Structure 1
Amino acid sequence: MTETDKPQPARQRVPAGIWALGFVSMLMDISSEMIHALLPVYMVAVLGTSMMTVGIIEGVAEATAAIVKVFSGALSDWLGRRKILAVIGYGLAAITKPVFPMAASIGWLIGARFVDRIGKGIRGAPRDALVADLAPAELRGTSFGLRQSLDTIGAFTGPLLAIFLMWLTADHFQTVFWIAVIPAFLSVGVLLVAVKEPRPAPVHRHIRMPLHRDELRRLGPRYWRVVMIAACFTLARFSEAFLILRAQSIGLPLTMVPLVLVIMSFAYSLSAYPIGWLSDRVNRITLLALGLAVLFVADLVLAFTSGLAGLGVGVALWGLHMGCTQGLLATLVADTAPAELRGTAFGMFNLVTGIALLAASILAGALWDITGPQGTFLAGAGFTMLTLTGLLAYRHRLGRPATPDC
């Protein structure tokens, strides 16, 4: 066998467009996490909001994104085009970033967070459908894992920059927020130049009304089982804002609070690609169950720890569970949905999980105000065990190998 005949590693066979989408996500995450790593503390310590208000803001923001994803995903199926909607979504997120440093009250921050999440909602389902369109069926898990890994590199680079800039500027929030504007606009530039959308396969049906009940029925029972399991799983995990607040409750200095997201995202980025690669070779449901078990342990550690070492372990385990689950759930959606309805499938998936995240974040905030952090994380552990039980019950119905596009 010659050098050119040797099979390439999976990462070298992943299409260039998926790499580009990964870098788009990475740059936008650098921008977003520079802001979001500081935002909960800024709202509580500077603007004087309550923990429950933080939970409501985070839940409403993510639920807004989930609702918009339904319509943007369906629209991408109707148009037969994904990239234009991704550009609009990333562009909207970029132009709202300057509002954060200029906001003078909690109302402005809520508005900026709300509009930013609308941008996320517009781009989310079409982008995930575009990954599925670009990825070969045998590399679907690898492709989603790679994009997720690059995304989370941005998620820990952003907080690291926030830590450095907070130190450099003597805790001047607005300066950090202004610098965060730059990578957001670079993200849009990479998307415009480097991502080429494939033409729809001629055998696919033209979808006239993607959200019609007949089309939703075509998604099939396996897809809806994936959505049900994902919704239960989302109830078990709430906004990462509560990891930041947990660090603050233990006594982590203000300047170092973003380190929580650095540790979480670093563990996430290290695990997402290997888990995606492995999911193309072993049963995906087994890996998903492993991720839930890791979340259960993370919740227990975060509930009972009283020191920074325990906090670091709990946060790292939280990131590891994300790497074991988020790319897999997206891959399962792509596996079970018809190719011509992928946008709608990702949209409905994100709507249901977004509603669950809203409920989880509000519940977490209320429990925190009533019982403190321990009650919040113990409740998360309880929901995790319920989800794991349901997942194992449906294992044989969900764990079939990925189906090729037809």
Structure 2
Amino acid sequence: MSEHAEVLNVKKTEGPQARARIKDLPRNVWAVGLTSFFMDISSEMVLNIVPLFLSNVLGVQTSIIGLIDGIAEAIASILKLFSGWLSDKTGGRKWLAVAGYALSALSKPFFYFASSWELIGGVRWADRVGKGIRTAPRDALVADSVTPKTRGLAFGFNRAMDKAGAVLGILIAALAVWLTQKSSIQLTKPTFQMIVLISLVPAFLAVLSLMIGARDVVVKGQRAAPKFSLRGMGKPFNTFLVIVGIFTLGNSADSFLVLRAQDLHVSVIGILVMLAMYNLIITLVATPAGSLSDRIGRRKLIIGGWLVYALIYFGFAFASQGWQVWLLYVTYGLYFGLAFGTTNAMVADLVPENLRGTAYGTYNATVGLLAFPASFIAGILWQGIGSWNGLGPSAPFLFGGMLALIAALLMAFWMPKKGALKGEASTD
């Protein structure tokens, strides 16, 4: 059965009272989910301990760690915009996504040889270039493969698969740490290098899963090369971008959450188990949350997720013991499970089918470009510069929590309540 026929089949099985089921999702959604599962096994094993390697082994300051993360996302952002537009122009989502995953997989072995923050940064940036190439075409491929009534479920399922891989990857890393250095507070270089080597296998399995399992979908509408125009995407989408941008400016890299845990004397093994539990919460929440957004609207789920985020960040600001950070980080998974996949689904609600790749590129570029100042500001605030002097590690979390509250209020009272397209699912 062709992928287009599978989409039609899903439509036929949807009655007015029917609730979409995971098993009814088409082949592409499963292929992308499996790819996300394998790549996150690989990425979460390594990327979560990169800030610890930078801090513990290389003695790098938090401002530099924030700079590395910020530049990584900024570099990827430009490519997300271009690759999304290119996938609209050519109609070829799959091979752009495969190329992006392949580049990320090929970059990972170089972490093994990195001995300075500049080299770590270079490898990190190459990995993000791969993410920049693949993200928008991959998300557009998922949106092309399902109907509006199953869009939230599809993106929630993809997020759940992604985070299930993260759970497994982090547990593998935790086992490696336990076998090599037990419950030490500081990460060692040999442990880091061993984890890098293990991560290579699932990285290449991710590439094979998408290469073999996915197919491009022909969607209605002409595949003329779209001109990039925010005005052409409509006011609801532009309003959505502004609100997401405000939230993102306070959403610094999770490296700072990891460093906050270590700052309060949580061991490396304790951090990895904490991260595994956090990702497990996302895995359990994301799919039912996505399905719920198909029935009650995206807005409510996003607002709820952002309010949870604000409370968690305020908790990080005032935490004084390691167990408090541990509990907060695990609960942080509720935000991700509720809001992240739902915002991805909302993008497709707001734009025409032939602009989906460009819209996902624009959305991801906005988030990625703002991740640079977000992480750099967080690093500076952590070191107690300017009007935040004296707050130390609490400052970036207070800043992020306040912006999340502002974004939630704007989503509640400024965001248009209906999708921009006739026949699309409501976004309220």
What's the TM-score, normalizing by structure 2? 0.89
Letter in structure 2 aligned against 1:131: V
CA distance in 2, matches of 1:399, 1:282: 12
Equivalent position of 2:278 in the other structure = 264
- Measured after TM superposition, the shift of residue 361 of structure 1 is 0.7
Equivalent position of 1:205 in the other structure = 222
Work out which of the residue numbers 65, 72, 78 in structure 1 matches 2:76: 65
CA distance in 2, matches of 1:27, 1:191: 10
- Measured after TM superposition, the shift of residue 402 of structure 1 is 7.6
CA distance in 2, matches of 1:105, 1:308: 29
CA distance in 1, matches of 2:39, 2:256: 22
Residue range with higher mean Cα deviation, 54-63 or 312-321: 312-321
* 2:348 pairs with 1:334: yes
CA distance in 2, matches of 1:373, 1:115: 29
- Measured after TM superposition, the shift of residue 308 of structure 1 is 2.9
CA distance in 1, matches of 2:264, 2:136: 37
* 2:363 pairs with 1:363: no
Equivalent position of 2:407 in the other structure = 387
Residue pair 1:298, 1:318 contacting (<8 A) in 2 also: yes
CA distance in 2, matches of 1:377, 1:260: 18
CA distance in 2, matches of 1:315, 1:80: 40
- Measured after TM superposition, the shift of residue 8 of structure 1 is 7.6
Residue range with higher mean Cα deviation, 376-385 or 76-85: 376-385
Q: How does 1:245-260 map to 2 (within 5 A)?
A: 245-260=259-274
Residue pair 1:276, 1:328 contacting (<8 A) in 2 also: yes
CA distance in 2, matches of 1:40, 1:188: 26
Letter in structure 2 aligned against 1:97: K
Residue range with higher mean Cα deviation, 240-249 or 377-386: 377-386
Secondary structure of 1:208's counterpart equals coil
* 2:131 pairs with 1:112: no
* 2:36 pairs with 1:25: yes
* 2:186 pairs with 1:176: no
Residue pair 2:350, 2:419 contacting (<8 A) in 1 also: no
- Measured after TM superposition, the shift of residue 156 of structure 1 is 2.1
Residue pair 2:177, 2:268 contacting (<8 A) in 1 also: no
Work out which of the residue numbers 325, 335, 338 in structure 2 matches 1:321: 335
Equivalent position of 2:318 in the other structure = 304
User: Which ranges of structure 2 fall in alignment gaps of 5 or more residues?
Assistant: 1-12, 182-187, 385-390
Residue pair 2:253, 2:371 contacting (<8 A) in 1 also: yes
Q: How does 1:223-234 map to 2 (within 5 A)?
A: 223-234=237-248
Residue range with higher mean Cα deviation, 180-189 or 383-392: 383-392
Equivalent position of 1:35 in the other structure = 46
- Measured after TM superposition, the shift of residue 91 of structure 1 is 0.5
User: How large is the RMSD of aligned CA atoms in angstroms?
Assistant: 2.0
Secondary structure of 2:224's counterpart equals coil
Q: Which runs of 4+ in 1 moved over 6 A?
A: 4-8
Secondary structure of 2:207's counterpart equals helix
- Measured after TM superposition, the shift of residue 403 of structure 1 is 5.1
CA distance in 2, matches of 1:256, 1:191: 33
Secondary structure of 1:98's counterpart equals helix
Secondary structure of 2:383's counterpart equals helix
Equivalent position of 1:196 in the other structure = 215
- Measured after TM superposition, the shift of residue 263 of structure 1 is 2.5
Residue pair 2:350, 2:420 contacting (<8 A) in 1 also: no
* CA shift digits 1:268-316 (9 cap, x unpaired): 2211111100001003211111111101110121111122331122112
- Measured after TM superposition, the shift of residue 112 of structure 1 is 0.5
Letter in structure 2 aligned against 1:95: L
Equivalent position of 2:23 in the other structure = 12
* CA shift digits 1:112-155 (9 cap, x unpaired): 00110000000000000000000122101110110011111112
Number of equivalences: 397
CA distance in 2, matches of 1:187, 1:380: 33
Secondary structure of 2:320's counterpart equals coil
Letter in structure 2 aligned against 1:173: F
Secondary structure of 1:86's counterpart equals helix
Residue range with higher mean Cα deviation, 288-297 or 384-393: 384-393
Work out which of the residue numbers 67, 89, 105 in structure 1 matches 2:100: 89
* 2:170 pairs with 1:159: yes
CA distance in 2, matches of 1:43, 1:257: 16
Task: Give aligned-pair identity as a percent.
Answer: 36
Residue range with higher mean Cα deviation, 191-200 or 341-350: 191-200
Residue range with higher mean Cα deviation, 82-91 or 61-70: 61-70
Secondary structure of 1:258's counterpart equals helix
Equivalent position of 2:153 in the other structure = 142
User: Which ranges of structure 1 fall in alignment gaps of 5 or more residues?
Assistant: none
Say if 1:399 and 1:168 are closer, same or farther in 2 by CA, change over 3 A. Answer: farther
Equivalent position of 1:56 in the other structure = 67
Say if 1:294 and 1:375 are closer, same or farther in 2 by CA, change over 3 A. Answer: same
